[in-house]
Amino acid sequence: MNPAVSSASSERLASFSANGAHGSVLVINSGSSSVKYQLVNPVGGEAIASGQVERIGQDDGIVTHKFAGNKTTQIIDVPDHSAALRIIMELFTVHGPDLAEADVVAVGHRVVQGGSYFSGPAVIDDEVLEKIRSLIPLAPLHNPGHVAGIEVARELLPHVPHIAIFDTAFFQTLPEAAYTYAIDKDVAEAHAIRRYGFHGTSHQYVSGKVSRVLGRRLDELNQIVLHLGNGASVSAVRGGVAVETSMGLTPLEGLVMGTRSGDVDPAVIFHLARNAGMSIDEIDDLLNKRSGMKGLSGESDFRAIHELVAQGDEATKLALDIYIHRLKKYIGAYHAILGRVDVITFTAGVGENDEIVRRLTVRGLESLGIAIDEGRNDERSRDPRIISPDWTSTLVMVVPTNEELAIARQCVAVVDELASGADASEDEPAAV
């Protein structure tokens, strides 16, 4: 943990009482056209309330709020992020819980791209916000929404620290050989082109959880984490430190995903531009939104995909084969990088729920000491669990991810750290 703290933040923190640093954390995930939020109890781990505002910028915005077993849904005009955040505050006031009584100790903002600036959480002040803004060219779909959301949230909740948690931070430890692309180094440097990796909050949370569940030291475990959701990525984690990951400059690289292609020869882009008359924006849309399982089979949801396979749909069967083939390729590669693999963990929507994908992925890897026990794999549970047989050298596990809780806990750790620093140094400015 190495929070970037400026003196402006410490001033704001001076008015913040740290004594109740284990109240709740409001986690905000502000996307390009939606804002999702969750009020989290960082100790118990449960979501006290949650919701989302979707279709921002359109006159039929969808607003959903859940609290105490009640769910409210409204269709209203949400012109921009400012309106979305104001609506969220209103939802808390009208439908509960009252934020003033919820003892909100921090607002955690999920930020997709932290570039090379951030290797941990950052208390948001004007300088940090400016850096997030400066990274917009690297994350044009995500960072503008984050900036807009952060600006309004700071205005609406001025008395608590706002903390940015970056998807890229966990992967700032990648070795140079893993994060450098083999292109002209001056061009790469001029345009900040390198592997950043994404889903870092999930990979970090899951690899830490594995160590706690097994009761084994994190620094002694070599792990492969398979985050298989609508977006999907693999990481290799040695002793708690990320050493490889499949997503790159953007979340497009790597595995086959719901709608993203993952790895393709970059020359596909030149070919389409030169011979198919497609613009760069059209190719961007093709590879990000109309490829992956969706592009291959017409469906991106694995429940629908298995139904189509069961009905004998050949295109979908091939799509599933391609998905599994790519996964095995990465497991083999990361095995070679790590040398020894103690644990392979499945997580996220597909990884946690899809026993077929898990079975097909692991099938044929017995010579690497990797296998699953069919009975354990088929068991439905929301608990972290081992699904490999007792005889294997590598454990295969299913561990549910919880990015909101991970963000909330990182925020509490920052708040605690800041509070102890502020107490110790009285009038001195906090470390920059």
Residues 351-380 that bind ligand AMP (CB under 6 A): 353-354
Pairing relationship of beta strands 61-67 and 47-54 according to DSSP bridges = antiparallel
Interaction between residue 5 and ligand AMP (CB under 6 A) = no
Interaction between residue 198 and ligand AMP (CB under 6 A) = no
Residue 59: exposure state from Cβ atoms within 10 A (0-12, 13-18, ≥19): exposed
Q: Which is nearer to ligand AMP, 274 or 382 (CB)?
A: 382
Interaction between residue 302 and ligand AMP (CB under 6 A) = yes
Interaction between residue 342 and ligand AMP (CB under 6 A) = no
Q: Which of 96, 229, 421, 429 binds ligand AMP (CB under 6 A)?
A: 229
Q: How many residues does the chain have?
A: 432
Q: Which is nearer to ligand AMP, 10 or 250 (CB)?
A: 250
Please name the residue ranges forming H helices in 105-184: 126-134, 143-156, 176-179
Provide the minimum distance between the beta carbon of 120 and ligand AMP in the complex, in angstroms, as a whole number: 24
Distance CA 303, CA 306 (A): 5
Give the number of other Cβ atoms within 10 Å of residue 391's Cβ: 8
Interaction between residue 327 and ligand AMP (CB under 6 A) = no
Interaction between residue 313 and ligand AMP (CB under 6 A) = no
Distance CA 45, CA 59 (A): 35
Interaction between residue 303 and ligand AMP (CB under 6 A) = yes
Distance CA 31, CA 140 (A): 11
Q: Are residues 28 and 110 in contact, defined by beta-carbon separation less than 8 angstroms?
A: yes
- Interface segment toward ligand AMP; rule CB under 6 A; list 82-90, 115-123, 296-304, 317-325: 296-304
Query: Which residue, judged by CB position, is nearest to ligand AMP in the bound state?
Result: 349
Angle at 416 between CA 413 and CA 420, to 5 degrees: 140
Q: Which is nearer to ligand AMP, 354 or 417 (CB)?
A: 354
Number of residues near ligand AMP (by CB under 6 A): 12
Q: Which is nearer to ligand AMP, 348 or 412 (CB)?
A: 348
Provide the minimum distance between the beta carbon of 424 and ligand AMP in the complex, in angstroms, as a whole number: 41
Amino acid type, 136: I
Cα-Cα-Cα-Cα dihedral of 326, 327, 329, 331, to 10°? 170
Interaction between residue 288 and ligand AMP (CB under 6 A) = no
Provide the minimum distance between the beta carbon of 202 and ligand AMP in the complex, in angstroms, as a whole number: 9
Interaction between residue 404 and ligand AMP (CB under 6 A) = no
Residues with active-site annotation: 167
Q: Which is nearer to ligand AMP, 248 or 258 (CB)?
A: 258
Q: Are residues 53 and 63 in contact, defined by beta-carbon separation less than 8 angstroms?
A: yes
Q: Are residues 196 and 171 in contact, defined by beta-carbon separation less than 8 angstroms?
A: yes
CA distances from 358 to 228, 301, 314 (A): 10, 15, 21
- Interface segment toward ligand AMP; rule CB under 6 A; list 79-87, 139-147, 148-156, 350-358: 350-358
Q: Which is nearer to ligand AMP, 77 or 307 (CB)?
A: 307
Q: Provide CB contacts within 8 A for 177, sequence distance 6+.
A: none
Q: In what order do the strands lie in the sheet with 222-228?
A: 241-245, 232-238, 222-228, 343-347, 395-398, 385-386
Provide the minimum distance between the beta carbon of 333 and ligand AMP in the complex, in angstroms, as a whole number: 23
Interaction between residue 253 and ligand AMP (CB under 6 A) = no
Q: Which is nearer to ligand AMP, 50 or 353 (CB)?
A: 353
Interaction between residue 258 and ligand AMP (CB under 6 A) = yes
In 339-352, which positions are buried (b, 16+ CB within 10 angstroms) versus exposed (e)?
A: eebbbbbbbbbbbb
Provide the minimum distance between the beta carbon of 206 and ligand AMP in the complex, in angstroms, as a whole number: 12
Provide the minimum distance between the beta carbon of 267 and ligand AMP in the complex, in angstroms, as a whole number: 30
Provide the minimum distance between the beta carbon of 337 and ligand AMP in the complex, in angstroms, as a whole number: 25
What residues line the site for ligand AMP (CB under 6 A)? 229-230, 258, 300-303, 348-350, 353-354
